[in-house]
Chains A and B, each alone.
Chain A
Amino acid sequence: MISDSIPRPASAARQLFLARSDFDALIGALRASGRTVIGPTIRDGAIVYDEIESAAMLPAGMGDEQSAGRYRLTDRGDGLLFGYTVGPTSWKRFTFPPQLNIAEARRAGGVAFDQPPVEVPQLAFLGVRACEIAALAVQDRVFLGGQFTDEDFRARRKAALVVAVQCTTYSSTCFCSSMGTGPAVRGGYDILLTEIEDGFVVQVGSPSGAAIVTQLPTRKPTHAETGAAIDSVEAVRAGLGEPLPMAGVDERLKQQLENPHWGVVADRCVECGNCTMACPTCFCTASVERSDMEGRLSVTERVWDSCFDVNFARVAGGDFRGRPRDRYRQWLTHKFSSWMDQFGSFGCVGCGRCIAWCPVAIDVREELEAIAPVVPPVERPVAVEPAAASPGAFSLARLASVKEETVDTTTLTLMDLDPAFLAARPGQFVMVALPGFPTVPISISRIGTTSIELSIRAVGATSTALTSLHPGSRLGLRGPLGTFWPIEDAYGRHAVVVAGGVGLAPLRGLVEALIASRDRFESVTLYYGARTPEDRLFRDDLARWTTIKAIDVAVTVDRAGVDWKGRVGVVTALFDMMTQDCSRVTAYVVGPERMMQASVQSLIAKGVPPDRICVSMERHMECGIGLCGHCQTGRFFVCKDGPVFRLSELGDLYVREGL
């Protein structure tokens, strides 16, 4: 078949019609040509591939209903011979047998190794689906496409005539259209059948196929019949729906080798190997020696093996894949990623057998989605149209009052502002301009009815200048910019705010908003850490919050003198006291970079879901509106796509150096 097949374009001139009542003629002709016909037949509650002697053995009128871990035969109530989808057997059973003697070794006098002669039966595969043709082609590439070949496979492939069948039905486990292998058959066959109501539209695909078909009582099909054939395949394509975004999954998987989700799947997987056995392309084997008791004659048997085998990667020095998660990752990444590098295509053809025949109902489509999803474009809710949102433009504001919070941090209250600033949401920031100084981004620490507050730590030239301003001064603003804290992420959950040092500034508005709608949250907690008691920001607010019941406040400092009677210790130690169920916590974290990372790691370790942890990122910004390019990290512009992010969207980015 492999050297014979010439994909022919479907053309009416080459199509024939065979009545269903004449189907035995096809089986008869195949057998008469010296072939054993392997086709679908019912056994033990499934449609398997086995020897067929007549059309009576075909599963007429039977279909199947499949889902993860479940397969049931159904009675379709019609007479269709091929109204089912793939079952537990695949054609690899016949091209690549589960057990095969591949060598004989003799030890008598000397040592001799013989390979048994390749003797393969002449077969006809009846009922090969598009995905299965693709699987045979995948195995062709594996066994025949490289420097070293498997001649037994070649012989068996050559000796098997392929009678393909268009799929006119599909299962929920089918995803051939996502893998580009179906539902339509487009080549790789000797004979192609499309089943319609009264019979089959027949297409010849090769000289061997032609030799069989000429013996059959066929006639030219009517237009209605060829139309019905096309329609039935189209109906399957439509029914399968939108294909999954598999393009590029091989590259995406390469980036996810450390994804913790591998451990999540591994917790469900029992490593029975059913997926690899049922898969039509898995090709790993083991060699088993069977010898007589003297060891004088031994036979090497090649048996289907599985990369899930606990000893699969073991050598004397150790085990290269010792954990279940390593083995699951090997299987999935081989099938959907490294196979592409090795053989130029995916190993998976979308037949769905691994999904149906997995006894714990693991669905590879779901796992791929969890581990290597296509990253959707970032959608940002907009608070209000910012003022002065173009390069060089600034909106004037007047400094109304100045308050020294700590030795190096000062809060500026600004009034006479563009109304856009008063519509800002907690978490947003403004670009602040002072003539002669570089523009800097500053978080808004309070949004009032007629004013906003900026709490600035004097670390550079601009910030030092800003903190030295006197009331009455004017300065330029652009904003409000960026994303804001998603307070709704905490509805019905425990809202936990973690602030470090000046990080309390962008969070103050959030704390006030949480207190204001306290009944929407299960609990509200603030954990605040500062270097020393003197470095605490907003001490009046802290004092007030400590007294009200709506919020629990725990403050800690890194070190203190004897006057401090409060907690001394690292801020993450405060989490140790968390009694809330961490899976129901939503955390909002801001502070110096190291403190944020330590806090985030601690929260994740305690079980707070990454999509419920929000951080505010700090980056070098010169415009605040995504035009200067400085604040990029990965694919994000921190000024536009942030500064507030959910940890789950940052993924790898958050812990990687140098991005």
Chain B
Amino acid sequence: MDENASVISMLDHTWFGSELAPETQEKLASLGSIMSFRPEEVILQEGEESIEFGILLSGRLALRTLVPERGPVTILSVEPGDVFGWSAILPEATAHSTVVATEPSKALVIDGMTLRAALKSDHGLAAGLYPRVLQAVARRLRATRLQLLDLFT
């Protein structure tokens, strides 16, 4: 399908998508849809139960959390090529932070339940996707550790 082909091509240009096998890229493209977000549009709400998995294609998203006495604090920005809502893959999927677009943004978004069902039945997709999600999470963990050290003291 032409539509899928252009989605696959966009996916292939992202950090996350470029390392996926072509079959995995195809499956993600057919499972998801391209969505556009306006600045300040909330994509995921902290605590929300039904969440989506997304790969940011352009723009920027902010991950925010509510800190008592400080209000909403942005703890991380998601740049094009990176993923958000990766916990949608897990069974008890809830959003750990609020995801907000800070600029006009475009992402390939897949509904969590659909994705979980597909991963359960399609072992090939699971084999292709899980390692890369793990890499994305590991990368974020490494970055978080450095943030934790508060490099600026």
Chain B interface secondary structure, helix, strand, loop or mixed?
A: mixed
Given known contacts A562-B72, A572-B143, is B60 in contact with A567 (CB within 8 Å)?
A: yes
Bound: A559/B76 CA distance, A: 7
CB-based nearest A residue for B71: A561
Q: Which of B60, B79, B152 has the most CB of A within 10 A?
A: B152
Contact (Cβ within 8 A) A598 B151: yes
Bound: A591/B63 CA distance, A: 26
Tell me if A577 is interfacial: C-beta within 8 Å of chain B.
yes
Tell me if A383 is interfacial: C-beta within 8 Å of chain B.
no
Q: Choose one: A566, A568, A572; the contact of B146 (CB below 8 Å).
A: A572
CB-based nearest B residue for A598: B146
By a CB distance below 8 angstroms, the chain A residues around B62 are 560, 562, 564-565, 568
Contact (Cβ within 8 A) B79 A577: yes
Q: Choose one: A535, A565, A566, A576; the contact of B152 (CB below 8 Å).
A: A535
Contact (Cβ within 8 A) A566 B77: yes
Bound: A556/B78 CA distance, A: 12
Contact (Cβ within 8 A) B147 A558: yes
- How many residues on B have C-beta within 8 angstroms of the other chain's C-beta atoms? 26
* Distance between B65 CB and nearest chain A CB, rounded to angstroms: 10
Tell me if B121 is interfacial: C-beta within 8 Å of chain A.
no
Contact (Cβ within 8 A) A595 B151: yes
- B54-65 CB contact bits vs A (8 Å, 1 = yes)? 000000101110
Interface size class of A (residues with CB under 8 A): 20 to 34
Tell me if A347 is interfacial: C-beta within 8 Å of chain B.
no
Contact (Cβ within 8 A) A565 B64: no
Tell me if B75 is interfacial: C-beta within 8 Å of chain A.
yes
Bound: A61/B76 CA distance, A: 77
By a CB distance below 8 angstroms, the chain B residues around A573 are 143
By a CB distance below 8 angstroms, the chain A residues around B14 are none
Tell me if B90 is interfacial: C-beta within 8 Å of chain A.
no
Tell me if A531 is interfacial: C-beta within 8 Å of chain B.
yes
Bound: A258/B125 CA distance, A: 41
* Distance between A335 CB and nearest chain B CB, rounded to angstroms: 40
By a CB distance below 8 angstroms, the chain A residues around B60 are 565-567
By a CB distance below 8 angstroms, the chain A residues around B72 are 561-562
Tell me if A549 is interfacial: C-beta within 8 Å of chain B.
no
Contact (Cβ within 8 A) A571 B74: no
Contact (Cβ within 8 A) A592 B151: yes
CB-based nearest B residue for A564: B74
Tell me if A569 is interfacial: C-beta within 8 Å of chain B.
yes
Bound: A564/B62 CA distance, A: 9
Bound: A562/B62 CA distance, A: 9
* Distance between B153 CB and nearest chain A CB, rounded to angstroms: 7
Contact (Cβ within 8 A) B147 A567: no
By a CB distance below 8 angstroms, the chain B residues around A570 are 143-144, 146-147, 151
* Distance between B77 CB and nearest chain A CB, rounded to angstroms: 4
Tell me if A501 is interfacial: C-beta within 8 Å of chain B.
yes
Given known contacts A568-B74, A570-B147, A572-B143, is B79 in contact with A558 (CB within 8 Å)?
A: no
Tell me if A500 is interfacial: C-beta within 8 Å of chain B.
yes
| Chain B, range 131-145, C-beta contacts under 8 Å to A | 139, 143-144
Tell me if B24 is interfacial: C-beta within 8 Å of chain A.
no
By a CB distance below 8 angstroms, the chain B residues around A268 are none
Bound: A576/B81 CA distance, A: 11
Bound: A568/B82 CA distance, A: 14
Contact (Cβ within 8 A) A561 B149: no
* Distance between A460 CB and nearest chain B CB, rounded to angstroms: 15
CB-based nearest A residue for B149: A594
Contact (Cβ within 8 A) B76 A568: yes
By a CB distance below 8 angstroms, the chain B residues around A564 are 62, 74
* Distance between B64 CB and nearest chain A CB, rounded to angstroms: 7
By a CB distance below 8 angstroms, the chain B residues around A567 are 60, 77, 79
| Chain B, range 83-129, C-beta contacts under 8 Å to A | 102-103
* Distance between A215 CB and nearest chain B CB, rounded to angstroms: 80
Bound: A529/B147 CA distance, A: 11
Contact (Cβ within 8 A) A530 B152: yes
By a CB distance below 8 angstroms, the chain B residues around A594 are 149, 151, 153
By a CB distance below 8 angstroms, the chain A residues around B152 are 500-501, 530-531, 535, 558, 591-592, 595
Contact (Cβ within 8 A) A592 B147: no
* Distance between B104 CB and nearest chain A CB, rounded to angstroms: 11
Tell me if B73 is interfacial: C-beta within 8 Å of chain A.
yes
| Chain A, range 548-590, C-beta contacts under 8 Å to B | 556, 558-562, 564-573, 576-577
- A201-244 CB contact bits vs B (8 Å, 1 = yes)? 00000000000000000000000000000000000000000000
By a CB distance below 8 angstroms, the chain A residues around B79 are 567, 577
* Distance between A39 CB and nearest chain B CB, rounded to angstroms: 63
Bound: A567/B102 CA distance, A: 10
By a CB distance below 8 angstroms, the chain A residues around B153 are 592, 594
By a CB distance below 8 angstroms, the chain A residues around B143 are 569-570, 572-573
By a CB distance below 8 angstroms, the chain A residues around B103 are 565
By a CB distance below 8 angstroms, the chain B residues around A560 are 62, 73-74
Bound: A567/B15 CA distance, A: 17
By a CB distance below 8 angstroms, the chain A residues around B2 are none
Bound: A602/B60 CA distance, A: 23
Tell me if B3 is interfacial: C-beta within 8 Å of chain A.
no
CB-based nearest B residue for A558: B147
Query: Could you tell me which A residues sit within 8 Å of B by CB distance?
Result: 500-501, 529-531, 535, 556, 558-562, 564-573, 576-577, 591-592, 594-595, 598
Rank and list the top 8 A-B pairs by shortest CB-CB distance, nearest first: A595-B151, A531-B152, A565-B102, A568-B77, A570-B146, A560-B74, A568-B74, A567-B77
| Known interface pairs A529-B151, A560-B62, A560-B74; 16 further A-B residue pairs with C-beta atoms within 8 A, sorted by A's residue number | A531-B152, A535-B152, A559-B75, A561-B71, A561-B73, A562-B64, A562-B71, A565-B60, A566-B60, A566-B77, A568-B63, A568-B75, A591-B151, A592-B151, A595-B151, A598-B151
Chain A to chain B contacts (Cβ below 8 Å), 15 pairs: A500-B152, A501-B152, A530-B152, A531-B150, A564-B74, A566-B60, A567-B60, A567-B77, A568-B77, A576-B139, A591-B151, A592-B151, A592-B153, A594-B153, A598-B151
Query: Could you tell me which B residues sit within 8 Å of A by CB distance?
Result: 15, 39, 60, 62-64, 71-77, 79, 102-103, 139, 143-144, 146-147, 149-153
